[in-house]
Amino acid sequence: MSSLPMSLGFVLTLAATAAAQTGTLSGRVTNTEDNKPLDRAVVRVLLPNGAAIASGTTRADGTYRLTEVAPGIYEVNIAAVGFAPREESGVAIRAGQTTTLDAALELQAIRLEEISVTTVSREPEKKTDAPAAVFTVSRTEVEERPALTVTEHLKNLPGADISQGGLVQANVVGRGFNNIFSGAMLTLIDYRYAAVPSLRVNVSTFFPLTSEDVERVEFVLGPGAALYGPNASNGVLNILTRSPFTSTGTTLSVEGGGRSESRYLVGDTMYTGQPQGIFRVTGRHAMRLGTKMAFKVSGSYLKGREWKMRDEAEPTNLEVSHPELGIEEGRCNVLTGCRDFNLEQWNGDARLDIRPDANTEVIADFGMTNALNLIEYTGIGAAQVRGWRYMTGQLRLRWKRFFVQGFGNFSGAGLDSSNGTPRARAFLLRDGNPIVDQSRVWSAQFQHGFDLFDGKETILYGADYFKTDARTGGTINGSNENDDTIDEYGGYVK
């Protein structure tokens, strides 16, 4: 029984010896304005190279106590949010002793980052002055979050409803009902309509830009978005890209990853699709040509494999009834129908900026996406895409507060005859009917503004014109094929 007191005494002796070999730093932190204590101020003991060997926070009464600090001469840093930090050099910590260091911190104004958005006026303005609720995704957030498409950056924004249909298939709406083939939200890329012509559906995988091109993303909810112009009452997704003047250099990235396994029912039997890999390579180069001109080129290539599933409404004999679809012999089966789950696409974009003077800017842009193989879901079943091309061209001018632009979007899903036998670039998997969409959208817009009453009021006015030239070969608009060209024009004053 006598061994217990001896062991306890030995432990206490060791503890006392260790305490005698270290020192303690304590004190109280207040503010200089009214001498009130500062709660949760951070106190750090630093070596000459800046490494911290001890740290802690103050209590509600402003006091702190850091124990077991090795003896030495240190620098002590004391900081609190909203106050200027204070540094004390030459603070001596002695073995077995307590060093007292009190500090009073001065209030310091903090300038928050000013967030600018591009709203109705098509020119940057403070977010707090915007006429609608605008949520933004900054360039920093885009860089930090890996994403296969730009819509993935919206998942944490309030009011954004995203329905995911595959690796790159997604539909976005704001505060409204979503569906698998949605075009309700007005989607813009540098003020240009980004929807597929004729169908007017937002297919984010067709956007020719890369993540390296994105400067920021603006998301506008609900009825307030109507201030952006026509077709905007259900919200606006506004994607703005980086100017080559401010983003020179070359970037090359190679990404790889994987997706989880898939489970799907065929009748009453559950099947499992194995996990698969994803691969993407992206490049961007931007440079200045003198002081008044700059250009950039960018592109990416993506390859992966979609999750497997079986749509009971899809037959398994399309290769017999529709040989023009180019389905290889034996590919169709009772487990997955006639689907090709391989995902493959590439896209490229080129932009030229000209700034002859401080008040003038001319920008020309051309982009193209080729969906080599893709499954896209529609309201009447899934469609197999095999070489659907999407192209866009844009020219815009800004001189002081005058803005004018023209752009065209071109869809290329016709019949491919390059191998001698016509093959549909897209077809519905439920019935094998081909999808032809070689439509075009042309647009011209201008806007100008001026101030009244010494800048207290601003007048904006402008006009828009859109021409939709639907060319669907009767596969989308049916009997209306010869009467489906739409002209839209209008003006506004705000």
Q: What is the CATH number of the domain that holds 286?
A: 2.170.130.10
| Sign of the alpha-carbon dihedral angle for 164, 169, 173, 178 | negative
What lies within 8 Å, CB to CB, of 103 at 6+ separation is 27, 28, 29, 30, 78, 86, 88
Please indicate, yes or no, whether residues 268 and 248 belong to a single structural domain of this protein: yes
End-of-domain residue from the set 81, 105, 129: 105
pLDDT of residue 364: 97
Provide the CATH number for the domain around residue 51: 2.60.40.10
Pick from 49, 76, 105: which residue ends a domain? 105
What is the pLDDT at residue 484? 83
Domain that holds residue 154: 116-493
Looking at 70, 105, 140, the residue that finishes a domain is 105
Please state, in angstroms and rounded to a whole number, the distance separating the CA atoms of residues 184 and 235.
8
Residues 349 and 241 in one domain: yes
Note down pLDDT in tens along the chain; length 494 residues: 444 444 444 334 444 444 458 899 999 999 998 889 998 899 999 887 777 888 899 998 999 999 889 899 999 999 988 888 899 999 999 998 999 999 999 887 655 444 555 655 566 555 555 556 678 888 888 888 888 888 888 887 877 778 788 888 888 877 666 667 777 788 899 989 998 888 888 888 899 999 999 998 888 876 666 666 677 777 888 899 999 998 999 999 999 888 888 888 888 888 888 888 899 999 999 999 988 999 999 999 999 999 988 888 888 776 666 667 767 777 788 888 888 899 999 999 999 999 999 899 999 999 999 999 999 888 888 999 988 999 999 999 999 889 999 999 999 887 776 666 677 888 888 888 888 889 999 999 999 988 888 777 888 888 999 999 988 888 887 778 788 888 999 888 87
For the stretch 147-153, contacts whose Cβ atoms lie closer than 8 Å and that sit 24 or more positions apart, written own/partner, are: 147/211, 148/278, 148/280, 148/302, 149/204, 149/205, 149/207, 150/204, 150/207, 150/209, 150/211, 150/214, 150/217, 150/239, 151/204, 153/214, 153/217
- How high is the pLDDT of residue 349? 97
Question: How many residues belong to the chain?
Answer: 494
Q: Does one domain contain both 192 and 242?
A: yes
DSSP 275: P
Residues 267 and 303 in one domain: yes
Burial (CB < 10 A; 0-12, 13-18, 19+), residue 34, is exposed
Is 98 in the same domain as 144? no
Q: How much is the pTM?
A: 0.71
3-state DSSP assignment of residue 228? helix
Neighbours of 134 (CB within 10 A): 20
In a domain, 48, yes or no: yes
Distance of CA 23 to the CA centre of its chain: 51
Are residue 174 and residue 266 in the same domain, yes or no?
yes
- Pick from 29, 48, 38, 97: nearest CA to 69: 97
Cβ atoms of residues 387 and 369 within 8 Å:
no
H or E element, residue 262: strand 262-266
Instruction: Please say whether the beta carbons of 275 and 261 come within 8 A.
Output: yes
9 assigned to some structural domain: no
Can you tell me which residue has the tokens 């529709």? 322
**Residue 3 is encoded by which pair of tokens?**
């061994």
Question: Is the distance from CB of 161 to CB of 172 less than 8 angstroms?
Answer: yes
Nearest to 426 by CA among 461, 473, 468, 394: 473
Query: Are 152 and 29 within one domain?
Result: no
Task: For residue 6, tell me if it sits in a domain.
Answer: no
Establish if 8 belongs to a structural domain: no
Structurally, how many domains does the chain consist of? 2
- Whether 81 and 147 map to the same domain: the answer is no
- Domain match, 487 and 448 both: yes
Q: Does residue 408 form part of some domain?
A: yes
State the pLDDT at residue 186.
Answer: 85
- Same domain flag for 276 and 252: yes
Say if 45 falls within a structural domain: yes
Q: In terms of domains, do 72 and 142 share one?
A: no
User: Does 230 share its domain with 345?
Assistant: yes
pLDDT of res. 408? 96
In the prediction, which pLDDT does 91 show?
Answer: 92
Within a domain: residue 156? yes
Which residue is it, tokens 């077991």? 68
Domain annotation covers residue 3: no
- Vertex 28, ends 24 and 29: CA angle to 5°? 125
C-alpha–C-alpha distance, residues 140 and 56, integer Å: 30
